[in-house]
Amino acid sequence: MTKGEIVAGCLAPHPPHLVYAENPPQNEPVAEGGWEQLRWGYERLRESLAGVEYDAIVLLSPHWQTYIGTHFLGLPHFKNLSVDPVFPNLFRYHYELDIDVELSQQIHDRAAEAGLSVKMMENPDFRVDYGTITTGHMFNPEWDKPMVVISSNRSRDYYSVEVMQEMMMELGRVTREAIIASGKKVVVLASNSLSHRHFTTESEIPEDMSKEHITSHAMHLWDMRMIEYFRTGQAQRIIDEMPEFTEQAIAESDGGGLSWLLSTLDIPKYPGILHGYGTIIGTGNAIVEWPARNHKEVEE
Amino acid sequence: MSDGELIGSYIVPVHPHTVLAPEQNEGWGRLRDAYDLAAQRIKDSGADLLIIYSTTWPSIIGHQIISDPNPEWVMVDHDFHDLGSIPYSFNVDEKFAHEWNKANEKRGLKSRTISYHGFPIDVGSVVALKLLNPDNTIPAVIVSSNVYANRSETTVLAKACMDVVKATGRKAVAVTAMSLSNRMFTTHIEPKDDRIHSLKDDEWNRKILEFLGEGRLEDVGQLSRTIHQQIRVNKVVAFKPMWWLSGMNQNRNDLTGEVLAYEAIHGAGGAVVHLDPTPSGTGDKEYDEDDVEYFAGERNVLDGEAAQADFEKDNSEPHAGTTQNSGPALWDPTENKGSVNTDAAPKPVGAYPHARRVGDLLYLSGVGPRQPGTNSIPGGPIHDGNGTPLNYDIKAQTHAVIQNITRILEEAGGSIDDVLDVTSFLVDMDRDFQGYNEVWAETLGHVGPTRTTLAIRALPTPIAVEMKVIAKAPAMD
C-alpha cells in the first residue's frame, strides 16, 4: 500500500462569526457581512488547496472539551442542528458531516498503544460542537470530504501547559503515523484562535466592524510574535514558548490544537503561509497553511 | 399581592450519572435518592418557581437566561456520552426570564434572554431539572455562569433575581448545579472503583459540607476563592455559585442546612444540600466584603461611552417592582409669554418652563444634574429604587447642573457669564459642600454671581444638588 501523507496542516480558527457573516443557507441568522479579512483568508486557503487531492480532513476542536482523555467521533454520519451556547444569536447551523471512522479508529488505536487515554464517541444523539462545524464549513463549505474529529483534552486545566503539550505532541505523532499507515492523503486542521481575551459586550449590530479590534496591545504583540514564527518556519520556537504564550495571551492554544498540529507536521522548519489575520470580538485569529505536500523531504 | 420570597435553596451535582446510571454505583444511587428527596421537598413546599444557576453553561457576553417557554432536545454529555442520551422538555417561565433580564440591566449587568429552537441546555441544568422537577409542574428559569464575572457581578445577579421574585410574589427555590471538588479521574474507571479523587479534595469537601450543614452559606461564599485554588481544576467557570446562592439568601450565615448526600462522581465531589431559610439560631456574622447593589465594573470594553451612558440610564430608573420610588413623571415645559425652553435640558418634573424672561432678567427654574433624553444622573443617583442610599459623585452632579444651566442660557441667547445670582440646594451639606464648592470655584466662581447655599431634606428626583438661577437676559433684537 502506498504511504499516506499529510498534504497540508492548517491553523483554522472557528469563531462562529465567520459563518454568520457568510450567510450560508445552513445558518439561520442573517448578517450584513463582517470580518472580511478573515473570510478572505479562508478563501485564499481554499484556493491554495483547490488543486490538491486529499481523502479526509482531520480536525481537533477546542470546543469539544473532554476531561477524561481524548475522544474521536466514531459513527459514519452526523446530522443535527448546532446552536452556539455563547453566541446563539449568530450561529444556528444545520449540519451534516461524514466521518472517516476507519481513520478515526486507527488514530485512536495508536494513541491507546502510546499510553494516551482515548475513547470513541458512538452515541448517535451527540451534537457535534460548533467549533468543528465552523472550521469545517469555512474550510470546506461543500462538506464533501469525510472528517476525523478529535476532542480537546483539557490536560492544561488539570495539570499545566507543559503537560498538555507533552500529551498533544504525542497525539500529533501518532496521528501522523496513523495517517501514513492508512495510505490516505489528509489535511490536518487545528481549530483555534491565538490570543483569546474576548470583549464582554457585543455591539448592537454584531458585524459592525467599526467596533472590532484586538482587546489589548499585549495581545497584539503576542499574536504578531506567533505569526512571525509561523511565517519564518520557526515552529520549534512556538513549541518552546507555548507556556508563556498560552498563559499571557489567554490563548486558545490551551486546548492543545496548535501543539498537536505542529507535531503532526513534525515541527515544520519551512514557512507557513499566512492567509489572513483578524480579530473577532477582540480575540486574535490567524489562518495559516503549512504546505507539507511541498516539503516531503523534510517530513521523511 | 404579597411579596415573593425564596423558600429554599439546593446544591446539586451536575454529571449525568444520577439520571442515566444510578444503579451502577452505590454512591451514585445515594445521590439519586437525595435528588428524589429534594424533589419531594420542593413539591411539598408549594414552590412555584425553580431558579437554576448552572456552572456547566459558561457565557461571555454577560449572563444569559433561557426564555424559550418549552426548550426541547436530546442532551448527550461531552465526556460521558457512552452512558446514554437524556431527552428533555422543560417548562420555562418566559415572563420571569424577561423580567430578570430587565432587572439585571437596571443593576448595571450585561444580560440577555435566549430563546432559540435547539439551543443546547447544559448538562447541569438538564440533570437538575430532570430530577428536581420530574413532572415539569413547576416553571423554571436557567441562568448561565459568566466566565469573566467576579463576586460583585455574581452577587448583583442574585439581587436582581430577588428583585423580581419579590415583585412578582413568587415562592421560589434557588438551585446551583455544581460540583464541590471538580477533579475527575482523567482515565476511564469502573463504576465500582469510583471515589473522591484525592484525600485532600475529600477533606475540603467535608469542610464545605460542615459549613453548609450548619447553614453558614455566606462563609462558604467568602471562602470561594480559596476553595477554587485548593480543590478546583481551573475550568472556565470558577467556584462562583456560592456567591450567587448566598446573594439569593441575603448573604446569611444562619440558614438551616442539611446535607442529603455526598458522593464521588468519577472522582469529583457531588453533593445534594438543602438550605432552608428558617434561622438556625446560630447567629449571623460580620462580612469581609462589600455588599454590592450595582455592578459598575469593567463591561464597557467594546464601546466605553455608550456602555457608561447605558449604565447611568439604567441606574436612574427604579428597580423592578418598586413602583413607589419610580420618581415623578416628566412634563413638557410650559409655554407662556417669555418662556425659554430647550430639548438640551432635562424635562421638568412639573408644569413650569426651563426659564422665563421678565424685562432684562432671566429667572431659571431649579436646575438639577439629570441629563436630557436619558434622564440619567452623572455621578449616580443618591439612592436606589428602594430608598437604599448609594454612593454618588457630588462633583460630577455639580458639573452636570452647571452644564444644564449653560444650555438653558444659551437657548435664551446668552451664556453662563450672564449669571447674577444663585441659590443652591444640597441634600447633604456635611458630605457634599466641599466637592460642590470646588466645582463652583472652577466654574461659576470665575463668573462671580452672588450665592446662597441651603441644606434641604430632599429633592424630587434622586439627586444631591439643585440650583436656582437669576441671570441677565440678552438684549432683545
**Under CATH, which architecture does the B5-276 domain have?**
3-Layer(aba) Sandwich (3.40)
| φ, ψ (nearest 5 deg) of residue B115 | -145, 85
Least confident span in A27-41, A60-74, B304-318: B304-318
Using only C-alpha atoms, chain B has a radius of gyration, in whole angstroms, of: 28
Whether residue A68 and residue B266 make contact (CB cut-off 8 A), yes or no, is: yes
Minimal C-alpha gap between A211 and chain B (Å): 6
Whether residue B302 and residue A202 make contact (CB cut-off 8 A), yes or no, is: yes
Q: Give me B183's grid cell.
A: 477533579
Whether residue B186 and residue A69 make contact (CB cut-off 8 A), yes or no, is: yes
How far apart are alpha carbons B338 and B362 in whole angstroms? 9
- Least CB–CB distance from B74: residue in A88, A125, A151: A125
Half-sphere exposure of A216 (CA within 13 A, CB side): 10
β-pairing, A273-280 vs A283-290, is antiparallel
Give residue A245's pLDDT.
95
| φ, ψ (nearest 5 deg) of residue A46 | -60, -40
Q: In angstroms, how far is CA B254 from the centroid of its own chain?
A: 23
How many helices and strands, by DSSP H and E, does chain A display?
10, 10
List the domain boundaries for chain A. 5-299
**Arithmetic mean of pLDDT, A108-126:** 97
Half-sphere exposure of B448 (CA within 13 A, CB side): 0
Give residue A8's pLDDT.
98
Whether residue B59 and residue A155 make contact (CB cut-off 8 A), yes or no, is: no
- Give whole-number Cα distances, A162 to A115, A158, A165, in Å: 17, 11, 5
The pLDDT-based confidence of A203 (bands split at 50, 70, 90) is: confident
**Chain A neighbors of B183, CB-CB under 8 A:** 158
Query: For chain A, what percent of residues have pLDDT higher than 70?
Result: 99
List the domain boundaries for chain B. 5-276, 326-472
**Chain A neighbors of B71, CB-CB under 8 A:** none
How far apart are alpha carbons B296 and B286 in whole angstroms? 24
Tens of pLDDT, residues A244-272: 999 999 999 989 999 999 999 999 999 99
Element (H, E) at B477: none
Whether residue A123 and residue B84 make contact (CB cut-off 8 A), yes or no, is: yes
**Chain B neighbors of A126, CB-CB under 8 A:** 76, 81
**Arithmetic mean of pLDDT, A286-292:** 98
What's the order of all strands across the beta sheet hosting B450-455? B339-340, B355-358, B361-364, B465-472, B419-426, B450-455
What residues pair up with B276 in beta bridges, in sequence order? B256
**A282 close contact with B: CB closer than 8 A:** yes
Minimal C-alpha gap between A276 and chain B (Å): 23
Q: What is the ipTM of this complex?
A: 0.93
Whether residue A88 and residue B58 make contact (CB cut-off 8 A), yes or no, is: no
Give residue B31's pLDDT.
98
Give residue B291's pLDDT.
74
Burial of B438 per CB tally in 10 Å (0-12, 13-18, 19+): middle
Minimal C-alpha gap between B54 and chain A (Å): 13
What is the model's pTM? 0.77
Q: Scanning the structure block, which residue is given the C-alpha cell 459563518?
A: A19
Nearest residue of B to residue A157 by CA position?
Answer: B234
Minimal C-alpha gap between A270 and chain B (Å): 35
- Least CB–CB distance from B303: residue in A87, A92, A201: A201
Confidence check: pLDDT of A275 > 50: yes
β-pairing, A118-121 vs A70-73, is parallel
Whether residue A67 and residue B184 make contact (CB cut-off 8 A), yes or no, is: yes
Nearest residue of B to residue A112 by CA position?
Answer: B187
Whether residue B303 and residue A211 make contact (CB cut-off 8 A), yes or no, is: yes
In chain B (477 residues long), the average pLDDT of successive 10-residue segments reads: 89 98 98 98 97 93 95 97 98 97 92 95 98 97 92 93 96 97 92 96 97 94 89 73 95 94 97 95 68 69 44 39 50 90 91 93 95 83 81 89 94 94 95 93 94 92 95 83
Work out the number of other CB atoms within 10 angstroms of the CB of residue B351.
9
Minimal C-alpha gap between A271 and chain B (Å): 34
What residues pair up with A60 in beta bridges, in sequence order? A150, A190
End-to-end CA separation in angstroms for chain A: 17
A residues 227-246 closer than 8 Å to B (CB)? none
Given the candidates 3.40.830.10, 1.10.3470.10, 3.40.50.1110, 3.40.50.10490, the CATH classification of the domain at A5-299 is 3.40.830.10
**A250 close contact with B: CB closer than 8 A:** no
Nearest residue of A to residue B268 by CA position?
Answer: A67
Query: Topology of B326-472 in CATH?
Result: 60s Ribosomal Protein L30; Chain: A; (3.30.1330)
A5, amino acid identity: E
Closest CA to B65 of B140, B141, B122, B159: B141
Whether residue B76 and residue A67 make contact (CB cut-off 8 A), yes or no, is: no
